[in-house]
Structure 1
């Protein structure tokens, strides 16, 4: 079917008259110019200007044809398809003399016309689809009121999570509603971009906002989410899974190469340390230039000596007003009105100051602290069961977690509900556990008035068992120890305490009186110390208790405790700790006895043991016996085992003699003197060797095996190999394995002790 080109052009004129008249005039003008152009046979060269005019005329012709076709498609007239448009252009070329003047091939003209028509077709069909789906506020309404699956697909989260996040951002003032965009829509824009990797132009079309508005709200939400990162974004677990650690096939690919000493970067002061130093100066801290504070990514912050330090040197003075305590905290009134004290009240003070952020007087100090220490207290129950199974801490940590949760529920939660001005997110049970971990590992006892508190600078010194270099003390306590009988000093101390009660805040900050120290020198000692610093009862002192060489780390000590106590309170262990012990519960001893004798028999022997004034160690309603680091059992355990294994005649003789004897040891000594044919004088002082009968040694071996079985199926060699592979970076696994290995070594020594005792018989 042929198409009349004149009819086609008339149709275009009619359509153009209803819209813009410019296109009609341009096309008509083009036709007039074409009629005035003389035609010639064949092609001829034209000037550059004439060629450009011809190209412009051709493009106008294409635009008219494309607009004609677009209008036809809008009316669903398929007679103006691409192929038919090309036929029309062919006929126009045959009848129009102007087309011969173009320096364009016919197939190029067809291609351009087809491309123009295809472009208009796509733009029209896309516009039709866009108009059929909601946009802007309609899109948000359909999203939040529609099915849950649609919200989860578009926003990558459930509706209740989306609304909760919006409320959090609105409540904390991180985002605000604008005249045209609510917080819900701002967050939806952000989630669409990050959840689907959408471009700005697509989001403009979907939400019907300009590109600048989309970009501005995206960045605002991004900043708000970054500020919540510490609460909602959990960093990846850097610990290697046990399946890889225990596999000779996979572990070599994950093992870290150790750097040689020449390649290890020297520790240096980090940005957070520099900020902490500026804060200390503003609070009136004084510290020696002989101390170097270093921040190592693997080992944390430590203190080293830049030159030789002597015993008696005062290396730091800390204002009591700068210590974070219940008395100095801004939450003092709230804490005291709730009747809280001790570590519970200090935890509330710490959480309150953290909630203030940069507005807290301790902001420079708090930014140096981790959110929580890696104590078993903050481990998950699954980690406690898998890593501490069989150790002294397994049962203790579970009991601690239950008690701390009850404390939060009974004491902290009512404060949150009754104080609308505080942010409840900083007083959650997770934050309470985190605060308790910091207090357990970093707090010091300051004085009777302040109680315990967080002491900046003092908590930077690392621990070393039995190797205390620096001692933390109060200057006025030291003067009291020098002269306890001086009445004038007592009066002075009382007046100082009164001043402390009235000036306990940070409003009256101590001036920056840091002593100027010459190069390679430090704070003087002995008599010069008083002149350099002065005796101030409002200050705490760090005093050297022994000499430390230049370049050596300066240690504090947290007490002479074993690895179980170190891991429980501070989150680390020490190799070959001489204060390690293993406990054997009385319940375990009775279980062993019931496996050999009747329950009534065991209860009778235990009652006799108690009538002899013996008892084990008691802690939290549990009774146990200690095995020393050398594998030597407690005397009370040997006595109980000896009585358990006494023959009936000896037992009855001991039972009838108990009322007439003066000393319990004398009664046992009487039995031992008859059995071993020794003098009464020697047997009156009972020795462990006399109690180590063959049966008692066998009982010790059985108790050691039963206690060993609590660690599971892995042998001690398996634990030692796993500890070597995991490395110190995986703190939880490393220190829990160190505790297991140290305890199992003690049990091995207990077996050796029992074997050596049995060989005597």
Structure 2
């Protein structure tokens, strides 16, 4: 049975989607050809976070819980901006590789006639994302010192600022018919980065392509991104040329939550990328990074190593600290 990792909401002031938003989204899913098994339901009650998938009947391993046609995905290739993004691909290259998707999201999140409006309405203004990048610097240092998260967030924020000012803003200025620096602000861009970080999927490369190809760009997968994560998950997303399918990996009992996996991630990585951590001892992938310099100091201070200190010091000189 998957461990239920409840994720406390730290900021109650964030706006929530209206009760009609989920119903509208599910109606949109049906219109787009998303097939949801009658044995499961999307719910905001009894789940680990804002949304989740619950079993309404017993499920066996191998059962398809839902399928999402590729035409429903939101990506740089399905966006109305796809031809323009392809044309200006060279100017949109970045270290993250996310700029084309982020520009698509900037456009769709503010377009009144967006094809994905019912989907995006589940996250009003994207202000309910509780990533550490939205905590104060003092709060990150006080609560997360020693985890590596504050340093990772500082790198993220610097990268976001640079990417927005050097790539995104110049692109928007060249296309004022599509973008407004006021409406498509740095703050919105930062929230969309967090949205992509927490909710996007990255299709794995084929084994023969792994050594030659760049990683696939991230893509938003409606419905699949509502599933919550635990290390001891009971479902997994499978890819085919026509659709993506969420499949039960083992029996799931009626009333239990269906959990996907976001990967083998330590708690500090989960907190950094998704804004939550699994309570001990649920995360079987949890780990802690220990700097080599710390190990050296501990080894040199240990009495049992007193006669070997010169040898240890010489050994650690060969390691890049």
TM-score w.r.t. length of structure 2:
0.78
1:303 shift after superposition? 0.9
Gaps of 5+ in 2: 1-9, 206-214, 303-308
Residue number among 148, 160, 172 corresponding to 1:416 in the alignment: 172
Aligned residues of 2:296 and 2:312 also touching (Cα < 8 A): no
Q: Which has the higher Rg, Structure 1 or Structure 2?
A: 1
Residue of structure 2 in register with 1:377 after alignment: 133
Question: How far apart are the structure 1 equivalents of 2:120 and 2:80?
Answer: 15
SS at match of 2:61: coil
SS in 2 for 1:542: strand
In the other structure, the counterpart of 2:3 is none
1:321 is matched with 71
| Alignment of structure 1 residues 35-50 onto 2, 5 Å | none
Tell me how far apart the structure 1 counterparts of residues 258 and 291 of structure 2 sit (CA, whole Å): 39
In structure 1, what is the equivalent of residue 7 of structure 2?
none
User: Is the 2:42–2:52 contact (alpha carbons within 8 Å) kept by the matching residues of 1?
Assistant: yes
Give the SS at the match of 1:300: coil
Alpha-carbon distance change, 396 to 238 in structure 1, aligned in 2, over 3 angstroms:
same
Q: How many residues align?
A: 282
Of 441, 450, 455, the residue aligned with 2:198 is 441
Structure 1 CA distance, aligned partners of 2:60 and 2:172? 50
- Give the deviation of 1:375 after TM superposition: 0.9
Residue pair 1:412, 1:427 contacting (<8 A) in 2 also: no
TM-score with structure 1 setting the length: 0.34
Q: C-alpha separation between the residues in 2 aligned to 1:338 and 1:428?
A: 22
Cα deviations by residue, 1:423-445 (Å, 9 ceiling, x for unpaired): 22343211111011111111112
Cα shift at 1:456: 0.2
Residue 132 of structure 2 is aligned to residue 367 of structure 1: no
CA distance in 2 between partners of 1:433 and 1:283 (Å) = 29
> Residues 285, 383 of structure 1: CA spacing in aligned structure 2 closer, same or farther, 3 A cutoff?
same
Q: Which residue of 1 aligns with 2:82?
A: 332
CA contact (8 A) 2:44 2:50 kept: yes
Deviation at 1:455, TM superposition (A): 0.1
Q: How does 1:161-176 map to 2 (within 5 A)?
A: none
Match of 1:309 among 35, 59, 78: 59
- Mapped to 2, the partners of 1:561 and 1:374 lie a distance apart of 18
Deviation at 1:604, TM superposition (A): 8.8
**2:254 matched to which residue of 1?**
550
Instruction: Identify which of 207, 212, 218 aligns with 1:452.
Output: 218
Q: Encode CA deviations 1:597-654: one digit per residue, 9 max, x unaligned.
A: xxxxx9995554465xxx47xxxxxx5xxxxxxxxxxxxxxxxxxxxxxxxxxxxxxx
Q: Which has the higher strand share?
A: 2
- Structure with the bigger RCO (C-alpha within 8 Å, sep 6+) is 2
Going by fraction, where is helix more abundant, 1 or 2? 1
Conserved? CA contact 2:98–2:217, under 8 Å: no
Residues 1:274 and 2:23 are matched in the alignment: yes
Q: CA RMSD in A?
A: 3.0
CA contact (8 A) 2:64 2:245 kept: yes
Structure 1: stretches of 5+ with no match in the other structure: 1-235, 240-268, 476-536, 597-601, 617-622, 624-761
Q: Distance in 1 between matches of 2:133 and 2:187?
A: 11
Q: CA deviation at 1:394?
A: 2.1
Contact 2:49 2:228 in 1 (8 A): no
**Match among 180, 184, 188 for residue 427 of structure 1:** 184
CA 1:396–1:450: 2 relative to 1, 3 Å: closer
Q: Alignment partner of 2:261: what SS?
A: coil
